[in-house]
Amino acid sequence: MRLIKVFDTTLRDGEQSPGATMNVEEKLQIARQLKRLNVDVIEAGFPIASQGDFEAVRLIANEIDGVTVAGLARTRFEDIDRVGEAIKSAESGRVHIFLATSDIHLKYKLKMDREQVLESAVKAVLHARKYTDDVEFSAEDATRSDRDFLCRITEEVIKAGATTVNIPDTVGYTIPLEYSELIDYLMNNVPNIDKCVISVHCHNDLGLAVANSLAAILKGAGQVECTVNGIGERAGNASLEEIVMVLKTRPGIFSGADTRITTREIYKTSRMVSKITGMMVQPNKAIVGDNAFAHEAGIHQDGYLKERSTYEILKPQDVGIPASKLVLGKHSGRHAFKERLKELGYDLGDDDVNKTFDKFKSLADQKKYVFDEDIETLLTQELSDICDVYCLTFLFVASGTNQRPTAHVRMTVNGEDRELTHSGDGPVDATYNAIAAITKTKSQLSKYEVKSITGGTDALGDVVVTLEEGGRTERGTGSDTDIIIASAKAYINALNKLEGKKRAVEKGI
């Protein structure tokens, strides 16, 4: 195995995401989790930037062992001294120095020529070596720098004592082919390149941060700089979880290159970073998104149930997610629906499954997500419905601030079609008045309850009514996303039960 070091910069570059600022205690909490994740390097902050950043780096360096703790510095000696002070208690500490090397940065930002940049870089590395043998130099905006100058400055900082040289795609400008050629060029044109680890730090402005990082690994890069959930400046950094799992999933492509990451800690780390920074993970995010191991399409669900690997290249448990999800919606198939019924404890015959499945598909057309509670309610309703006497076939209700509520109801009574329009004090009252008139029943409504089975404005409403007639009491239930329709179903369900009891008495049962 060729070990690829994971340099996590969630606490430094990740924190630079607008709104993602963390306090010292929050940084320490994430650092502890990063240790459990088993990253190689934690870049804990930019000590010269603020007293808070200095304290965070110092505390993490003092507490976290088994991991290299790095602090960022410009080539200014005061920056380097501040990092040196912050990491002095670390079991393993690193000074990470950066200086731009592209002509556009030299001209407009630094106001320096190449010789001045080269001299400043070498002096900074020499100064940093007073604090630690582990010094990293980053050639900021390397992918827009002159290649020969990049080779020259890489050679000189290695001579000065840099043990890691980072070739960052600072503005996310490069593409995989170009970046791999750049790394290959450095490998073949820097004489002492074997005396350091080549690192890569890619930004995601064009959505290629992970692809570029992997292209560099193929050409010999030994360290990858990344963040949890891919957070960071502008469009973010290369995503730690994606790089790690690509290497884990496709070892043949990368000639056995792998990391030391404990992958079962990935999901937990992702959730913690998301919670602390307030930066939510998009549902379709690879590896850690809510939909990463969710299947809704019927064809996919059927294949997955027959053999997981038909539609999953990773096991959710490998990244710390308990299980895959079969999301039941309008694209779901009968196989997945029957499987979910079994999970809920219902082992039904094909006829009952088919009847309930049809109602499920009808409900799925009305709302985005169908929850287990929805299915159980549909199932209970299907198994308890007695439609041989009273059945609802049509309902239209009109109601408003300046209009008396009216309900137009069409039903079948013992197979005969009947319809009638009635008014009432409210839409439910009007509906019930119409149903009572059509069925010519004299029952009294003693109880009416409504509850939302699931959340959201498209929630399935569950109505429970209690009717009394001739000394008999029956409870009826009805469910629908339209609460008036649910109310009608519940009322009719109770009427059918009352009618069933009457018939039973007549037959002497």
Alpha-carbon distance of 399 to 404, in angstroms, equals 6
Domain spanning 385-506: CATH superfamily: Alpha-isopropylmalate synthase LeuA, regulatory domain (3.30.160.270)
Residue 382 above 70 pLDDT? no
The single residue listed with the structure tokens 């965070």 is 56
Residue 380 above 70 pLDDT? no
Q: Which residue has the higher pLDDT, 148 or 323?
A: 148
Q: pLDDT per residue over 84-138, tens digit each? A: 999 999 999 999 999 999 999 999 999 999 999 999 999 999 999 999 999 999 9
| Architecture of domain 2-277 in this structure | Alpha-Beta Barrel (3.20)
pLDDT of residue 493: 87
Per-domain boundaries in the chain? 2-277, 294-382, 385-506
94: helix, strand or coil = strand
Alpha-carbon distance of 384 to 161, in angstroms, equals 80
pLDDT of residue 386: 47
Cβ neighbors of 403 (< 8 A, separation 6 or more) are none
pLDDT of residue 481: 85
Measured CA angle at 374 (ends 372, 379), to 5 deg: 95
Q: Which of 28, 33, 4 is nearest to 265 (CA)?
A: 33
Residue 383 above 70 pLDDT? no
Ramachandran assignment for 278, one of left (phi > 0), alpha (psi -120 to 50 degrees), beta (any other): left
Residue 276 above 70 pLDDT? yes
SS3 sequence, 191-212?
Answer: CCHHHCEEEEEEECCCCCHHHH
Q: E strands of 192-262, at which residues?
A: 197-201, 223-226, 257-258
Tokens representing residue 465 in the block: 């009514």
**Beta bridge partner(s), residue 38:** none
Q: What percent of the chain stands above pLDDT 70?
A: 93
Residue 414 above 50 pLDDT? yes
Q: pLDDT per residue over 210-229, tens digit each? A: 999 999 999 999 999 999 99
Q: How confident is the model at residue 412 (pLDDT cuts 50, 70, 90)?
A: very high
Alpha-carbon distance of 196 to 198, in angstroms, equals 6
Residue 311 above 90 pLDDT? no
**Beta bridge partner(s), residue 95:** 71, 135
Q: Which of 417, 416, 418, 421 is nearest to 434 (CA)?
A: 421
Neighbour tally for 164: CB within 10 Å: 24
Residue 390 above 70 pLDDT? yes
Q: Which of 215, 137, 218 is nearest to 179 (CA)?
A: 215
Sign of CA dihedral 216, 80, 84, 159: positive
Rounded to the nearest angstrom, the gap between the alpha carbon of residue 206 and the centroid of all alpha carbons in its chain is 21
Predicted TM-score of the model (pTM):
0.74
Indicate the DSSP class of residue 282. Answer: P
Mean pLDDT of 73-77: 98
335: helix, strand or coil = helix
pLDDT of residue 437: 96
Contacts 24+ apart (CB under 8 A), 351-356: 352/382, 352/383, 355/382, 356/382
Q: What is the dihedral of CA 463, 464, 470, 471, to 10 degrees?
A: -170
Cβ neighbors of 115 (< 8 A, separation 6 or more) are none
Q: Which residue has the higher pLDDT, 414 or 207?
A: 207
Average pLDDT, the chain: 91
Alpha-carbon distance of 219 to 209, in angstroms, equals 16
Q: How confident is the model at residue 327 (pLDDT cuts 50, 70, 90)?
A: low
| CB of 209 closer than 8 Å to CB of 236 | yes
Residue 385 above 50 pLDDT? no
Mean pLDDT of 360-386: 65
Q: Which residue has the higher pLDDT, 108 or 338?
A: 108
Q: Which of 148-152, 449-453, 473-477 has the lowest mean pLDDT?
A: 449-453
| CB of 277 closer than 8 Å to CB of 17 | yes
| CB of 419 closer than 8 Å to CB of 394 | yes
Residue 509 above 50 pLDDT? no
Ramachandran assignment for 197, one of left (phi > 0), alpha (psi -120 to 50 degrees), beta (any other): beta
Q: Which of 133, 168, 137, 172 is nearest to 153 (CA)?
A: 137
